[in-house]
A and B are shown apart, each in its own frame.
Chain A
Amino acid sequence: MTLYDEEFSARRRLTLRGHASAPGGTRTAQPVHATHAVRSEQDLLSVRHAVRAATVEAGFALVDQTRIVTAASELARNAYVHGGGGSLTIEVLGHGPRRGVRLTVRDQGPGIPDVDKALTDGWTTGSGLGHGLGGARRLMHEFTIDTAVDRGTTVTAIRWNDR
């Protein structure tokens, strides 16, 4: 599974190493990197607040904040409804002017047997509109689904502030 392009991996290493002393003497604000449970309806609401805070921290403008929070809401709901609950990890990537937010939503549910179908607008195995997964992909710049039947699903999605 190839999640990241090379440029991105390099940046990620930088981000991880740069935590304690970000170059450029930035303030001592802790970089956002937190995992939240997605096991209840209340969690679906709290996760949105956490993602919103990360997008603000990363300096996204309002429309982008809204895109990212909406994508997070769709993915978290899928993990809760279809995956039987899971978790959402939020990371702020990069430093300086180029920043991103990465969402990683995991569950140990039934997995998605046919990812292409699941991404198709209007396709649902439940009572939803079937727009959540494909819609979340459109709202983000990078989008990867790693899924195995009976093992679970991990969706990773990134949006950058400069595209």
Chain B
Amino acid sequence: MNGPRPSAVPILRLGDVLVTGLLNELDDTSALAFTDELTERIAAEGARGVLIDISRLEIIDSFVARTLTELTTMARLLGARVLVAGMRPAVAITLVELGLELKGVETALNAEQGMSALGWSQVHQPPGGVPYDALR
């Protein structure tokens, strides 16, 4: 169609947590396909947690914000908890000014803290620690 399709976003599985990330070059169609795929994987694999690393996203506009919010809601309906990790500070500032708070979306400062909040403790921290909210 219009240039090369971005390759599908990889979704890895670590125990009962699915780990994935969003890239800048995701077009709308791919973003919707990603939502579908992730939702199917949550159901098929009985995932209890989903970590979405967004540290590579240079901007979040209202479309991406909506994608993240909808994903979180769908995952919750399927019994999984979503953690969005690694938002860049400039993105957080801009989101607030846009008036998009990603209501209901849990956040973590980085992927490691997100994983630990999802109970995936590799280090000494206790599982289920309070997630750091990068927006506040």
Contact = CB atoms under 8 A, between A and B. Distances in A.
Contact of B97 (A42, A62, A139): A139
Interface string A25-51: 000000000000000111111001000
B98 A135 contact: yes
Contact of A129 (B29, B66, B89): B66
Contacts of A52: 58
A131 B27 contact: no
A138 B94 CA distance: 10
Given A41-B28, A66-B90, A129 B3 contact: no
A69 B100 contact: no
What is the size category of the interface that chain B forms with chain A? 20 to 34
B15 interface: no
A99 interface: no
Interface in A57-78: 62-63, 65-67, 69-70, 73-74, 77
A105 to B, nearest CB: 14
Contacts, number: 79
B98 A45 contact: no
Interface in B20-68: 24-25, 27-29, 58-63, 65-66
B93 interface: yes
A100 interface: no
B66 A128 contact: yes
A67 B97 contact: yes
B3 A135 contact: no
Given A42-B2, A63-B94, A135 B28 contact: no
Interface of A: 40-45, 48, 52, 62-63, 65-67, 69-70, 73-74, 77, 121, 128-129, 131-132, 134-136, 138-139
